[in-house]
Amino acid sequence: MLKNIQGGFSAVDSSTLLKLVPSVLMIGAYTGLAYYIEYMQLHFDLDFKPTTTVFSLLGIVLGLLLVFRTNTAYERWWEGRRLLGGLTDSSRNLAIKLHAFLPMADKENRTWFALMIGNYYFAIKEHLREGVDFNEMEEAYPGMNEELKRFTHIPNRINAQIMTRINDLAKKGVFTQEQMIIMDNQDSVFTQVIGGCERIKGTPIPTSYSKHLDRFMLLYTLMLPFGLMHDLGWYTVPVIMIVYFALEGIKIIGEEIEDPFGRDANDLKTDLLATRVRANVKEILLPPGYNELHP
């Protein structure tokens, strides 16, 4: 139980909570002002006492809207994770096959593939954000970054280079046709992954739905104090703040994970995945002690 409590309080550092603080405080201030006006009769003579049944019905509708919004966002998040998981597996599998097919003494090609497969993952994660960060790219050949800058779709260019080099090595007899077919099937997953990720990125949840949910939730929250203050008194203020905290928190989390490839706290850890894949691929193609054995 203590662990759960500590975990709950650790959420104070999360970006989600920081986004919620201003709006929760504003709702609290609004509820306090509404109570003061209603009960202190400050220049007004209000007798607005809606039945709780109204709020129960509205709450059900709001809950359904939030559930649909959150489920849709989570499906996008999970599909993105599944696609990146497939890319991780394919990167490792391609590296394993290259390790098996390439001669151990072929340091040039082993190093080139180790760098380019890692570069592909880094190119994808930034391609799905604001653009490729060339500071993260490891040059597999002189002038690589300058050459890549000429292309609009850099992941496609890197994938084309990988497949072209495999094809050239097959023509030289380094790979058999059967081995090339095996690697071609593995490499084709790269294209499928980037296509699936771009589909998620380029097809957001309709803006009209999000705006409708925002308006409905705001209207519900502004009306709710008048349905509770007659029974709860001043306790209405913290109760409304907690209710709004729960509703708005769910909505914000849904908005964050709707685009799972960004930099929000709840987005996929693409930077960690890319770093891990790069290290794995290098370890496969250039195992510990390789440079000492093949200087």
pLDDT at 2: 41
Cα torsion at 101, 106, 109, 111 (round to 10°)? Answer: 110
Residue 82 backbone class (left: φ over 0; alpha: ψ -120 to 50; beta: rest): alpha
CB 209 within 8 A of CB 255: no
Task: Tell me the pLDDT tens digit for each residue of 64-89.
Answer: 888 888 888 899 999 999 999 999 99
H-state helical runs in the chain: 2-9, 15-40, 52-101, 107-127, 144-148, 154-171, 177-202, 207-232, 236-258, 270-285, 290-293
| pLDDT level of residue 14 (50, 70, 90 thresholds) | low
Find the distance separating the first CA and the last CA of the chain, reported in whole Å. 56
C-beta contacts of 238-243 below 8 A and 24+ residues apart: 238/28, 240/27, 240/28, 240/31, 241/24, 241/25, 241/27, 241/28, 241/31
Residue 236 scores a pLDDT above 90: no
DSSP-derived letter for residue 1 is -
Residue 6 scores a pLDDT above 50: no
pLDDT at 40: 63
CB 94 within 8 A of CB 183: yes
More confident residue, 67 or 282: 282
CA distance 124 to 83: 12
Most confident of 30-34, 144-148, 178-182, 287-291: 144-148
Residue 10 scores a pLDDT above 70: no
| pLDDT level of residue 15 (50, 70, 90 thresholds) | low
DSSP, collapsed to helix, strand or coil, labels residue 49 as: coil
Residue 42 scores a pLDDT above 70: no
Give the C-alpha distances (Å, rounded to integers) separating 72 from 79, 81, 150, 278: 11, 14, 37, 32
CA distance 135 to 125: 14
| pLDDT level of residue 231 (50, 70, 90 thresholds) | confident
Please tell me the total number of residues recorded for the chain in this structure: 295
pLDDT at 9: 41
| pTM score, whole prediction | 0.80
Most confident of 14-18, 40-44, 108-112: 108-112
DSSP-derived letter for residue 43 is S
Most confident of 6-15, 75-84, 224-233, 258-267: 75-84
| Phi, psi torsion values for 289, nearest 5 degrees | 85, 0
Task: Tell me the pLDDT tens digit for each residue of 156-172.
Answer: 999 999 999 999 999 99
- Lowest mean pLDDT segment, chosen from 129-133, 135-139, 153-157: 129-133
